Amino acid sequence: MNFILHPIGWIRKTKSTIRIVLYKKYQPGLMGVEKLSEIWVVWWFNRNDNPRMRSILRVHPRGNPANPLRGVFATHAPMRPNLIALSRCKVVSVKNNVVEIDEIDAAPDTPVLDLKP
């Protein structure tokens, strides 16, 4: 079974702001997000999207060999069979198709798959 996912937008970072910029067609879906204090951001570990990284099932947490080896499902490691990531973020503001958040552990230009309350 295969699934097809399409990004709804992208993480954009500057020195002072972190924004989720949605494609304009998804802007109506933001109605009410401005009333939320936090959202879940579902995103894709796109920098690890290759067969080798997807095959890694055990890691040293935080990449530190001093940490005991664990299965990826017991860590927040970016190497995993399905590269879905989830971050809880504080909503700073919502304007048009842009949600400003306080922080996220995603890299700039990371694809965003979904937002949830």
Q: Work out the average pLDDT over 73-92.
A: 94
> Is 49 contained in some domain?
yes
> Is 61 contained in some domain?
yes
How far apart, in Å, are the Cα atoms of 71 and each of 3, 57, 60, 79?
A: 24, 6, 9, 10
> Is 89 contained in some domain?
yes
> Is 4 contained in some domain?
no
> Is 68 contained in some domain?
yes
Find the CATH number of the domain harbouring 73: 2.40.30.70
- What's the confidence (pLDDT) of residue 99? 99
Q: Work out the average pLDDT over 105-113.
A: 96
Rounded Cα distance, 59 and 66, in Å: 11
> Is 54 contained in some domain?
yes
> Is 2 contained in some domain?
no
SS (H, E, C) 73-117: HHCCCCCCCCCEEEEEEEEEEEECCEEEECCCCCCCCCEEEEEEC
- What's the confidence (pLDDT) of residue 76? 87
This prediction has a pTM of: 0.91
> Is 19 contained in some domain?
yes
Instruction: Give 16-68 pLDDT, tens digit per residue.
Output: 999 999 999 999 999 999 999 999 999 999 998 999 999 999 999 988 999 99
Indicate the number of domains in the chain.
Answer: 1
Q: Work out the average pLDDT over 66-84.
A: 94
Instruction: Give 4-13 pLDDT, tens digit per residue.
Output: 999 999 999 9
- Enclosing domain of residue 47: 9-116
